[in-house]
Amino acid sequence: MEADSVIQASWIMAKSLVIVESPAKAKTINKYLGSEYTVKASMGHVMDLPKKDLGVDIEKDFKPTYHIIPGRKDVIQELRSAAKKADAVYLAADPDREGEAICAHLRELLDSRKQKIYRVLFNEITRDAIREAFNHPGEIDSHLVDAQQARRILDRLVGYQVSPLLWDRVKRGISAGRVQTVALRLIVEREREIRAFQKKEYWTITAHLLGKHPPAFDARLVKIKGENPEIPDQAAAEQHVAAAQAAEFIVESVTIKEKKKYPVPPFITSKLQQEAVRKLHFSAKKTMMLAQRLYEGVELGDEGSAGLITYMRTDSTRVAEGALAAARDYIQKQYGKEYLPAETVRYKSKKDAQDAHEAIRPTEVNRTPESVKAFLSADEFKLYKLIWQRFVASQMNPAIFDQTTIDITAGDYLFRATGSVEKFNGFRAIYEEGQDDKAGEEEAEELKHRLPAVEQGERLKLQKLTPEQHFTEPPPRYNEATLVKALEEKGIGRPSTYATILSIIQNREYVEKLQGRFYPTELGMLTSDLLVKNFSDIFDVAYTARMEEELDEVEEGKLKWTDALAEFYKRFKKELRAAEREMADVKGEGIPTDVKCEKCGKPMVIRLGRNGNFLACTGYPECDGTRDLTPELAEQYGGGSVAPEVPEQSCEKCGKPMVVKRGRFGYFLACSGYPECRNTKRIVMGEGQVTAVEDKPLDEKCPECGSQLVIKHGRYGQFTACSNYPNCKYVKRQTLGIPCPEKGCSGEIVVRRTKRGKTFYGCTRYPECKFTAWDKPIAEPCPNCGSPILLEKVTQKSGPVRYCPNEACQYEHAAV
């Protein structure tokens, strides 16, 4: 009897174990669950395919071999120990494919014979959502796990079998990705469109007119004898100006229409990333990192930790009924009945949207941005405000405008003036969506123009007739917003992958982001050309989109994951074998051309050199003939990028012409008087123009030679150096103002960069002092071991985390 009582008492005392991905999420959830639960973090994925080999048995239905991720063994051991003491285990990873895979791997690693293991799902981390999830726990969704596993294996098959080809034929260390290569292809094809574009001159004519009532206004020429105007040059423009000036300007018609502008739906992932680029200038990666923190929970003073937004990886615009009702109540109280639609506004998601998740919205609409501003970082506040405003605006009435169109005749010419007057601001009282294209800019411009009251038949006084020259423009290069938009429209990738895609193509040095726009590098263009040519199916935009649809079908249980992989691998294997035979060897043999060597007459090939692509003689080493790669040959043979066109200019030091040269880090301007004059300028490519950046003098002397210090522009941004370079090679280091933590060292910590441009931190007394760190040092002592500094790293799941650099000390805490 006593033994039974002891057993019963121990059962009552046992806690349920809850496992989430991050410490921040654990902290917030623990607040809502109470003392009968223990909440621990897995720190993200715990198992993955091995790094050193394929890890997939193709002959046995693509059976994967998973290993515990290095660095997760201690975490797994801790979770196993906690699970043994628990009466039940609740797996509460994020509600998507990746989260479901984490749960499946955790179930496999834990000893599930002794405990019940449940899957709990919630779209927001709030008290009601957490309680509802734990009151109705479920099972792991095998279809979701299969879809994640299929994607992981697809990417592994491509990456581990195509990348070695690139190492052999192009350059060691580069790699291919199933989806990333398609994104790179879009950027490369857009670059070729821009280079092939032939600008065409055209002219417009604007009349500045005055009626009976002010103000004067502008009207644009829209018709000549009933036809659209074609004014190709200045002579034609002046001819039309002369003819129009001789005519009377008479109002032919005045049309006033009421126009409504409706709000846009609450955010889905892609739209959040696009708008954050447009309005906040955040990268997609930064946007998702901040959104993750807002979702997982933020400390709100006495209220404690609270999740501020719903789950941020979604392509559904659906919103819970309770949240819609709360938004309508807020709008009526804060803005009045005239801003509230008669019925709740519901938006349709796109056809292939995964409707299990809601749109991205605030978890509590009454938690206004200003009410939580004190508890958020500046960037967190900006993003939360954007999400909150968009959600509230989505439930408001449309804005109403009076749109006026005035048509004016002048002989054979018809001029038109348009303008809009806002009668009711509606949702615009709180939010206005950003624009990517010129059509959006023109619409915004129209709202600024107020037109005077005129009558049909009224004669107007011509103040001025202005001809203006224009040139047609090529399509713009992609920025992060427009590339995400293109990927979404073409069905490439899914909400959880956009930010990763953009990061990878930059990290692999296939593209550079200059002034916010993506430019393909020579390596990127060459790699894209070779992969698209040799894998025309696998890296086809439409086929990649179809594979995304098949993964969705796997998730829905309509298609076996092994069948999807088998169909893909059948195509892939055929192209892989052909590529092994036929892919051009740029590193060895080069890309053949019809160009003859000027020295010996032998054919020349395109090779990839340290400073980019160039033409080399096939007679090497007997003949060392080389030539620059012309734009025509680069286009014809797929040889990558070509030198930018820079306006002619003279060297300010010696007066000789400056010429475009190519170095290790790309193109630059150099004095043609080299080596007597070593003046150089960095070339910066902005949207629509190429400029050479000059050094900026500072009121500071070089400590080594006494010359003036200048701000220079390097491959990785600005830096301060001596103007007497190359005679003096002093470079001023960016200091953190933190003493070196090594005992007895009098140096301080400065920002340094590797040869590949990666930032790290080191001591000013290097090489005497060997202190280095990849993560940023913080002047905060460790409370556990007394280390004078902590290091700060940023993870997508957990946000900023500070930890002790002493490996024997495991102190770690979330950065505020």
Q: Which stretch of 185-194, 353-362, 487-496, 525-534 has the lowest confidence by average pLDDT? A: 353-362
- Higher pLDDT pick, 666 / 410: 410
Confidence bin at 436 (pLDDT 50/70/90): low
Q: Which stretch of 255-269, 343-357, 389-403, 590-604 has the lowest confidence by average pLDDT? A: 343-357
Omega within 30 of 0 (cis) for the link into 726: yes
Catalytic residue, candidates 295, 311, 339, 478: 311
Which backbone phi and psi does 394 adopt, to 5 degrees? -65, -20
> From CA 646, how far away is CA 690, in angstroms rounded?
6
Q: Which of 122-131, 507-516, 583-592 has the highest mean pLDDT?
A: 122-131
Taking residues 639-647, what's their average pLDDT?
A: 61
- Higher pLDDT pick, 202 / 802: 202
For residue range 60-94, what is the model confidence (pLDDT) as tens digits? 999 999 999 988 999 999 999 999 989 899 999 99
- pLDDT for 699 equals 84
- pLDDT for 9 equals 34
Taking residues 144-172, what's their average pLDDT?
A: 94
> Helix or strand or coil: residue 379?
helix
Nearest CA-CA partner of 48 in 144, 120, 149: 149
> From CA 621, how far away is CA 386, in angstroms rounded?
62
Asked whether residue 568 carries a pLDDT value surpassing 80, the answer given is yes
> Average pLDDT, whole number, for the chain?
88
> From CA 137, how far away is CA 135, in angstroms rounded?
6
For residue range 249-298, what is the model confidence (pLDDT) as tens digits? 999 999 999 999 999 999 999 999 999 999 999 999 999 999 999 999 99
Helices and strands (H, E) in the chain, number of each type: 20, 38
Asked whether residue 613 carries a pLDDT value surpassing 80, the answer given is no
Taking residues 615-634, what's their average pLDDT?
A: 82
Taking residues 396-421, what's their average pLDDT?
A: 95
> From CA 650, how far away is CA 660, in angstroms rounded?
12
The interaxial angle of helices 498-507 and 480-490, nearest 10 deg, is: 120
Asked whether residue 693 carries a pLDDT value surpassing 80, the answer given is no
Q: Which stretch of 95-109, 371-385, 754-768 has the lowest confidence by average pLDDT? A: 754-768
CB-based contact 442:397 (threshold 8 Å): no
Asked whether residue 796 carries a pLDDT value surpassing 70, the answer given is no
Asked whether residue 763 carries a pLDDT value surpassing 60, the answer given is yes
478 carries an active-site annotation: no
Nearest CA-CA partner of 89 in 40, 45, 26: 40
- pLDDT for 688 equals 46
- pLDDT for 12 equals 40
Asked whether residue 305 carries a pLDDT value surpassing 50, the answer given is yes
Confidence bin at 764 (pLDDT 50/70/90): confident
Taking residues 767-785, what's their average pLDDT?
A: 87
Asked whether residue 336 carries a pLDDT value surpassing 90, the answer given is yes
- pLDDT for 692 equals 67
Asked whether residue 687 carries a pLDDT value surpassing 80, the answer given is no
> From CA 10, how far away is CA 801, in angstroms rounded?
37
Sheet holding 790-795, edge to edge: 776-778, 790-795, 799-803, 812-814
DSSP 431-487: ------SHHHHHHHHHTTPPPPP--TT-EEEEEEEEEEEEE--PPPPPBHHHHHHHH
